[in-house]
Amino acid sequence: MLGDHANLLVLDSHRSLQTRTLQRYAEPTVRALIRECHHLADPVERAVSMYDPSLAPPNTIPEMPQHVFAEMRVLSLALQRNRRALEVYALQRIEILKTRYWEMGGNLGKAFGMGTEVRGHMVVVDEAFAKGYADLCLKFKTALYNDPDDEDDEEDEDDEASEEEQGNLHLHEEDYERIEERRERRQQRHEGRRRLRRRPREGNAGAADEGQPTSLMDAINLLGGGTDQEPPKDLFLSVRVLKDVGEVETLSGARLSLTKGSQYFLPREDVEQMVVLGEVEVID
């Protein structure tokens, strides 16, 4: 019946929204809906070509009969509804992938690795979006602290990584690990540059109090929340482990064995990711 396939996709999107999970891709329904759109578009195109004034003989104005106009109206509305259903279905899958990515602390491997349930329901376009979205988030985060002299080098690295990853959109577990290692190395590099630039800023911390203008990026930390015109004073934090994690390697290269209840005094950049993942909590 007309509109049944579109209704199935809308129900699937609603189910995914309520359960906050990525449902298996409804390829048969999507294909059937696309075939239905082609079937509906054929009579519309024929009617348009038949009653198009630009194609009529000179000095004649073709007039579309009322019954043909009513039929074209129904078919056009059905096509628009099918298109909206496809757009809603695709958008809902994208939102689930984005939510999953941030729930895992922005870690592509943990969010969409081979052992995860969501990976079994992903198709080629889902994998391509997840990889592209992770790259976009990384570029946004690191762009706040980039040196202008290093932009060309980073663009070359991104181009090389894109060429390697575009060869196979079906990413395997080792591919995710390789991509995450590259991102971690790049992030360590940017963190080091940010610490080097932070020192001269401390000497100018009173510039805002003296009436000198402060740039937006210096005044607002878009990734950390809140406003702060001075660098953080607590470069080391005391944390307590909330669950058994095992051995981990921090950004500074140190190896730790995280067992539930143990406490550590670590650099801020080493514990930020652990706090996001809920592995540790900051203690006074």
Do 48 and 140 lie in one domain? The reply is no
- Report yes or no: 223 and 283 within 8 Å, Cβ to Cβ: no
Report yes or no on 16 lying in a domain: yes
Nearest to 219 by CA among 134, 46, 209, 271: 209
> Last residue of a domain, which of 58, 78, 103?
103
pLDDT-derived band at 237, boundaries 50, 70, 90: confident
Do 18 and 80 lie in one domain? The reply is yes
Do 57 and 140 lie in one domain? The reply is no
Residue 217 CA, distance from chain mean position? 23
Report yes or no on 228 lying in a domain: no
> Last residue of a domain, which of 173, 198, 223?
198
Distance CA 70, CA 267 (A): 71
Residue 4 one-letter amino acid: D
Do 87 and 115 lie in one domain? The reply is no
pLDDT-derived band at 146, boundaries 50, 70, 90: low
DSSP notation for the chain: -TTHHHHHHHHHHHHHHHHTS-PPP-HHHHHHHHHHHHHHHHHHHHHHHHS-GGGSPTT------HHHHHHHHHHHHHHHHHHHHHHHHHHHHHHHHHHHHHHTTT-HHHHH-TTSHHHHT--HHHHHHHHHHHHHHHHHHHHTT--GGGHHHHHHHHHHHHHHHTT-SS--HHHHHHHHHHHHHHHHHHHHHHHHHHHHHHHTGGGTTTT----HHHHB-TTT-SB-SS--S--EEEEEE-S--EEEE-TTS-EEEE-TT-EEEEEHHHHHHHHHTTSEEEE-
pLDDT in tens, 174-212: 556 666 677 777 666 666 655 555 544 444 444 444 444
Q: Which pLDDT belongs to residue 84?
A: 92
pLDDT in tens, 69-82: 888 888 889 999 99
Do 5 and 93 lie in one domain? The reply is yes
Q: Specify the number of domains making up the chain.
A: 3
Q: Which pLDDT belongs to residue 57?
A: 64
Do 99 and 127 lie in one domain? The reply is no
pLDDT in tens, 110-141: 888 877 888 888 999 998 999 899 888 888 87
Residue 103 one-letter amino acid: E
The answer for residues whose C-beta is within 8 angstroms of residue 132's C-beta and 6 or more apart is none
Is 0.75 topped by the overall pTM?
A: no
Do 98 and 141 lie in one domain? The reply is no
